[in-house]
Structure 1
Amino acid sequence: MEYGERHKKTFSRSQAKLKAEAFCAYQERAQQELRDKLYEWGLHADEVEEIISELIVDNFLNEERFAIAYVSGKFRMKGWGKIKIKQGLKHKNVSEKIIKTALSHITQEEYQEKLTETIKKKIKTDGEPKNIAQKSKLIRFLQSKGFESDLIFNKTTDILKKY
C-alpha cells in the first residue's frame, strides 16, 4: 500500500456534503464523478446516494447541464468531433438521451466550420498531402479527433481540390 492510500482522510456525512457542494460549485460534474469522489472520501453507498439526491434537489448537480458544458468545452476548446465527445460522456455514465440533447447544441454549420478549420490547420503544419500515405495520415488524425468518416472524406476532398 502506498503512503497516500493508507492516510486518506475520511469525512463525516455532513463534512462530505459540504465538500461535495464546493466540488460541484467549482465546475459542472457528472453524477459518476461525484459518486467516485464520495466513495473516495470514505462514505458508504446509502450515504453517497442520499448526498447525490440532495445535491440534485439543491441544483448543485445537474447531469444535463454537465453534458452541455462538456460538449461545449470539448468541441470549442479541444476541437473534438461528436464521436469522441459521445465516448467521453458515455465514459462518465451519462444517459444516451442526455448525450443526444447535449450534442444537439452544436449546429451543423459550426461543426462543418470546425472540421474545415482543423483540416486547414493540419495542412498548414504538415504541408499539403501529396500522396496516399499523407492523405491517410490526415484522415487518421481527423478520425482520432472524433469526426465522422463520411464528413472527413467529403471535406478533405473539397479542400484538397482547392490546393
Structure 2
Amino acid sequence: MNNIFTVKEAILKLEHFCAYQERCHAEVVSKLYSLKMSLDEIDFIVVQLIENNFLNESRFACSFARGKHRIKSWGKIRIINELKARHISSVNITLALKEISPEEYEITFEELSERCWRSTQEKNVLKKRKKFCDYMLRRGYESNLVYEKVTQLEKDL
C-alpha cells in the first residue's frame, strides 16, 4: 500500500481523526509523524486544523477533564498531571478544572471513597487504611481530603 500522503490527503485524514474525538496538539503531531510528513508539512497542517476549528486545545482540555472526572472518577491532581503530560498550557488546565463543579467533585469523591472503603477486604485496620489512601491518591484526589475521609471512616467502624 502507498504510505505517502499528500498534504491534502493528510489534512482530510486528520480532520476525520479530530472530528471523531477531541485531540490535543501532541496527538495530532504524533499522528502526522506516523504518516511520514515533514516538519513544514506538519506545521502547515496543524495551522489548517486550528483555523478550521478541528483542533482546539482549550476545548480538548475541558472535554478531557469532564470525561475523566465523570466516567473514571479521577481527582483534580490526576487530571492536571495527565493534561501536563499532553503539553496543555496552565491557562487551559485552569479553564478545564472549572468544568467540574465543587458539588459534583464532592459527590464523586464521597461515592468513590465509600465504595472503596466497603470493598477493601482487609482485617488489619492499618493495612486497610493504607490500601484506601493509596487508591484514592492514585485516583488523583488531594491528600487532605483523603486523610480527612479515612479518619472519618475509621471512626464509623
Counterpart position of 2:97: 103
CA distance in 1 between counterparts of 2:123 and 2:141 reads: 19
**Structure 2 unmatched runs, 5+:** none
Counterpart position of 1:49: 43
Choose which of 113, 117, 137 in structure 2 pairs with 1:123.
Answer: 117
Q: Structure 1 residues 20-29 or 101-110, which shifts more?
A: 101-110
Counterpart position of 1:161: 155
CA distance in 1 between counterparts of 2:115 and 2:123 reads: 13
| Identical columns (%) | 37
Counterpart position of 2:28: 34
Counterpart position of 1:149: 143
TM-score normalised per structure 1: 0.89
Residues 76, 125 of structure 1: alpha-carbon distance in 2 compared, 3 angstrom cutoff: same
CA distance in 2 between counterparts of 1:40 and 1:8 reads: 14
CA distance in 2 between counterparts of 1:10 and 1:88 reads: 32
The root-mean-square deviation of aligned C-alpha atoms, in Å, is: 1.7
Contact 1:89 1:99 in 2 (8 A): yes
Deviating runs (4+, > 6 A) in structure 1?
Answer: none
| Matched length | 157
| Offset at residue 10 of structure 1 (A) | 2.8
**Structure 1 unmatched runs, 5+:** 1-6
Q: Structure 1 residues 123-132 or 49-58, which shifts more?
A: 123-132
